[in-house]
Amino acid sequence: MLNEKVARLINEQVNKELYSGYLYLDFANYYADEGLDGFANWYEIQALEERDHAMMMRRYLLDNGVRVTFGEIAKPDKVFKKLSDPLDAGYEHEQYVTSLINAIYKEAFAINDFKTMQFLDWFIKEQGEEEKNAEDMVKKMKLFGNDAKGLYSLNQELAGRVYAPSATGPAM
């Protein structure tokens, strides 16, 4: 049985991961509308990964006897004025998500919940990668995004991203 507070935080994180997916799908909507299908593809896949994260957390709770409950998923409310705006917002969002995962880890650590710490290890590593990916996107856009040819190439590169389910997540 999981500690009540740890279980609640993970349950809340399920909602936040689903929101992340919703947010990134909103980014994809914006880019699709701007004619940048490669950028849209990148964020569509990111949205699928976020759903995977939510599913992994949900499964962990279920496997530990926790009744999972769902709340409302907030409406994405970002307004984009230029093509780099979603990238900046994405980087900021991932840093926020890292802080949430760290907060759950801290709680588990405080009560010697080693099982949950081990479960969260995968997410700690994943957040490192997600922050790096998001930061790379910001950097690339700054370097190449102001020129039509550079933007075209970047769009082509991002079109190449393929979805790989997060099946390598923590053993549950």
Phi and psi angles of residue 165, each rounded to the nearest 5 degrees, phi first: -55, 145
Write each residue from 63 to 102 as x if it is in contact with ligand FEO (CB under 6 A), else as -, in one continuous string: -------------------------------x--x-----
- Closest contact distance (angstroms) between CB of 106 and ligand FEO is 17
Nearer to ligand FEO, 45 or 151 (CB): 45
Which residues have a Cβ under 8 Å from the Cβ of 13 and sit 6 or more positions away? 57, 100, 101, 104
Which of 2, 17, 56, 58 is close enough to bind ligand FEO by CB under 6 A?
17
- Closest contact distance (angstroms) between CB of 165 and ligand FEO is 14
Write each residue from 28 to 67 as x if it is in contact with ligand FEO (CB under 6 A), else as -, in one continuous string: ----------------------x--x--------------
Closest of 105, 125, 122, 103 to residue 114, by C-alpha: 105
Query: In a 10 Å sphere around its CB, with 0-12 CB exposed, 13-18 middle and 19+ buried, how is residue 63 labelled?
Result: exposed
Q: What share of the chain is helix, strand, coil (3-state, %, to 5)?
A: 75, 0, 25
Taking each helix axis from N to C end, the angle separating 114-144 and 85-110, rounded to the nearest 10 degrees, works out to 160
Which of 130, 145, 154, 158 is close enough to bind ligand FEO by CB under 6 A?
130
Nearer to ligand FEO, 53 or 156 (CB): 53
11 touches ligand FEO by CB under 6 A? no
- Closest contact distance (angstroms) between CB of 128 and ligand FEO is 11
Nearer to ligand FEO, 30 or 43 (CB): 43
Q: For residue 68, count other CB atoms closer than 10 A to its CB.
A: 14
CA distance 170 to 123: 9
Nearer to ligand FEO, 129 or 147 (CB): 129
Phi and psi angles of residue 31, each rounded to the nearest 5 degrees, phi first: -65, -35
> Which residues of this chain interact with ligand FEO, rule CB under 6 A?
17, 20, 50, 53, 94, 97, 130
